[in-house]
Structure 1
Amino acid sequence: MTATPLLHAWFEIMDSTTPERVLDMITDDFRLSILFSTGDSAAEFEGDRAGLEVYLAQREVSVLTHHLLQGARIGDAELVLGETRRDGVFEASFNASAQLTADGRQVRRLLICRSPKVRFTD
C-alpha cells in the first residue's frame, strides 16, 4: 500500500499495543470525525487532539485489526478502503480520508466511517 504511506503507518500503529503514538502524527490544527457504526447503533467521535485522545481511550487495544484493501493519494489527501477484523473474522468495512501536510508527514484532517452493513470482500 505504498500509495498511502501515512495512512498505512497510522493503521499499523492503531493495531499495535501503543496506538497513542498516532498523536505524534497530527498537526496543531488537527480535526477529526470518526463515525463508528456497530450495525445496531452508531457513535461519532469528533474534535481536535482531545477528541482523538477520547477515541483512543475507549478502544480495545490490539483487539480489532485494520486491513487496507485499496488506497490512493490525490494531491494532499490519502484515501483508503479497508475492513476491521476481530480474531481474523470480518467485523466491519471502513473508509478513511486524510488531508496531509505539504510534506506528507502529518495529518491535518481525518474522516473515518465504519459499518458492518457493507462488505467489499467475500
Structure 2
Amino acid sequence: MRQYLVFAALGLIAAAPAVAQTTGPGTAPSTAAANRRAADAIDARDSARADANAAVAADAQSQYSRDLAAYDSAVRARHAATMRDRMHYNHQRRAYAMAMEAWRAQVAACRRGHRRACNAPSPNPAAFW
C-alpha cells in the first residue's frame, strides 16, 4: 500500500504542470492578448532598429559624399598645381633655349672676328624670361 501512495503522489506531482498548462475558457483571450503585446513589442523594437539603421546608413552616405567631394577637390587642386609647375618649367626651357641660341650667335660672331662679341658676357636665361 505504501508503494501505491508513493506512485499516487508522484502521479499528482507530474499532473500539476499539466493542469497549469491547460487552457480554459477564461485563459485563452489573455494568452492571445499577451502574444499580441509581445508581437507588438517585437515589431516596435524591429521598427526602432530599422530607423536607427537607416539613420546610420544616411550618416554614412553623407560622410562618403563629403569624403568624395574633398578627394575631388584635392585632385583638382593638385592638377592645377601640376599645370602651373609644368607651364613654369616650359617657360624656363624656352628662356634657356633662347639664351643658348643667342650664345651660339655670339660665338659665331666672335669666330668671324667681331671683338665686341668676344668680349661680351654670355647671355643670361633670366634676360629671356
What is the TM-score normalised by the length of structure 1? 0.19
What is the TM-score normalised by the length of structure 2? 0.18
Higher alpha-carbon Rg: 2
Q: Which has the larger strand fraction?
A: 1
Q: Which has the larger helix fraction?
A: 2
